[in-house]
């Protein structure tokens, strides 16, 4: 298991960056680099259920391990969800990565926000995560700073 880290400084306050990360409208914008039509469904409760799904309804089932809005959230990934909504948290394949974390920290940096993300992944997924987070966090920055992505 690899731990990958990503960081950017955004010229916007913490709450604005938080809202762009987790609002349904903007979540799909920055996560499209992981998969088109990405959505997140969550009860926003520590120990509750959070789903990260693609446009076919497939994806991951997770839980929030730690939450302090607007400065940090830690997801613990539990398993997979198939297109019929069935959860797999026990197969041999899932057990190899079950319990890995995805963490987001937002730090006030003199009126700006330092956004730091960490994800634990299998080596095979490293390139996919690097592309997704690099492009995704650029999108978060652009949205928070009010930059038109078409002109960048």
Q: How far is it, in rounded angstroms, from Cα 28 to Cα 59?
A: 14
Provide the pLDDT confidence category of residue 36 given band limits of 50, 70 and 90.
Answer: confident
**Which residues are bridge partners to 9 per DSSP?**
114
Q: Tell me how crowded residue 112 is: count the other CB atoms within 10 A of its CB.
A: 17
- What is the percent of the chain with per-residue pLDDT over 70, rounded to a whole number? 96
Q: How far is it, in rounded angstroms, from Cα 131 to Cα 99?
A: 23
pLDDT(98) > 90: no
pLDDT (0 to 100) of residue 35 = 85
pLDDT (0 to 100) of residue 17 = 97
Q: How far is it, in rounded angstroms, from Cα 145 to Cα 68?
A: 23
In this prediction, residues 58-71 reach a mean pLDDT of: 96
Domain boundaries, the chain: 2-146
Q: 4-26 pLDDT, tens per residue?
A: 999 999 999 999 999 999 999 89
- Beta strands (DSSP E) in the chain are 2-10, 39-42, 50-53, 59-68, 72-81, 87-88, 101-109, 112-121
Mean pLDDT rounded to a whole number for the chain: 92
pLDDT (0 to 100) of residue 149 = 55
Q: Which fold has domain 2-146?
A: Alpha-D-Glucose-1,6-Bisphosphate; Chain A, domain 4 (3.30.530)
pLDDT (0 to 100) of residue 77 = 95
Contacts of 44 (CB under 8 A, 6+ apart): 64, 67
């Amino acid at each position: 298991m690899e731990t990958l880290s990503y960081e950017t400084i955004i010229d916007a306050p913490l709450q604005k960056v938080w809202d762009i990360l987790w609002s349904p409208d903007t979540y799909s914008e920055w996560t499209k680099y992981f998969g088109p039509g990405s959505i997140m469904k969550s009860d926003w409760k520590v120990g509750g259920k959070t789903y990260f799904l693609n446009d076919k309804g497939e994806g991951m089932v997770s839980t929030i391990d730690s939450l302090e809005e607007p400065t940090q959230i830690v997801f613990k990934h539990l398993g997979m969800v198939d297109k019929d909504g069935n959860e797999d948290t026990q197969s041999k394949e899932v057990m190899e990565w079950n319990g890995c974390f995805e963490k987001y920290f937002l730090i006030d940096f003199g009126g700006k926000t330092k956004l730091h993300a960490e994800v634990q992944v299998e080596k095979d997924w490293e390139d996919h995560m690097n592309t997704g987070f690099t492009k995704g966090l650029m999108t978060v920055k652009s949205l928070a700073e009010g930059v038109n992505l078409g002109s960048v």
